Amino acid sequence: MAKKPASRSSQSKPAIPPGSQPFAAKPEAAAAAAHGATLSSDMDYAEHEKTYMRFTGLVKWAIGITAIVVILLFIIVNPIVPPPAS
């Protein structure tokens, strides 16, 4: 009879040694570590932050430009015309 494969929940995760807090400097990293995620030590965090700041800056500009285009289109489609004199 073949052995049943172990269920996912019964597989153990690598434990973090007591007293060791490898990701304590960043709150999001500590939360990731609490859920069993690991961060690579060779990750270039400065480059990550630069990319994120560039992305959020572009999103802000895109929202602003879109708002201006919508307002201009509204003005073009609905021009302000004084009522005719009667």
Q: What share of the chain is helix, strand, coil (3-state, %, to 5)?
A: 50, 0, 50
The stretches in the chain having pLDDT less than 50 are none
CA separation for the pair 76, 73 (Å, rounded): 5
Query: Looking at residue 77, what is its pLDDT?
Result: 92
Query: Looking at residue 7, what is its pLDDT?
Result: 55
Query: Looking at residue 81, what is its pLDDT?
Result: 80
Query: Looking at residue 67, what is its pLDDT?
Result: 98
**Domain ranges across the chain:** 45-79
Query: Looking at residue 72, what is its pLDDT?
Result: 94
Angle at 27 between CA 20 and CA 19, to 5 degrees: 10
Query: Looking at residue 53, what is its pLDDT?
Result: 96
